[in-house]
Amino acid sequence: MIMIMYWSLPSILLIMGFFVFVSNRKHLLSMLLSLEYIVLSLFLLLFIYLNVFNYESFFCMMFLTFSVCEGALGLSILVSMIRTHGNDYFQSFNSLQC
């Protein structure tokens, strides 16, 4: 019974994160927050998986390192978009312009 709870809670969190990411596409900041939520739920799922099978947790540290780099890259894109366009709406951002 406890094993079902170990796997079901992160899976439900992951599905909720995907739902929020797909349904909320107006602001870049809200999309970045939902992506970070998905990454944290994946980290929880990975941590539980590695602990159940008694593997080493070095991959979790590497996963966290890459997720921090992803977050920093997203924030730098957000700052540059706000500096050039004045807001973070996707409607005002045209990807075809140089």
Is residue 96 predicted with pLDDT exceeding 60? no
What is the mean predicted confidence (pLDDT) over 84-97?
Answer: 70
**Alpha-carbon span 39 to 27, nearest angstrom:** 19
37 against 28, higher pLDDT: 37
17 against 90, higher pLDDT: 17
| Mean pLDDT computed over every residue of the chain | 85
What is the pLDDT confidence band of residue 9, given thresholds at 50, 70 and 90? confident
Structural domains for the chain: 2-85 (1.10.287.3510)
pLDDT of residue 67: 93
> What's the chain look like in SS3?
CHHHHHHHHHHHHHHHHHHHHHHCCCEHHHHHHHHHHHHHHHHHHHHHHHHHCCCCCHHHHHHHHHHHHHHHHHHHHHHHHHHHHCCCECCCCCCCCC
pLDDT of residue 94: 63
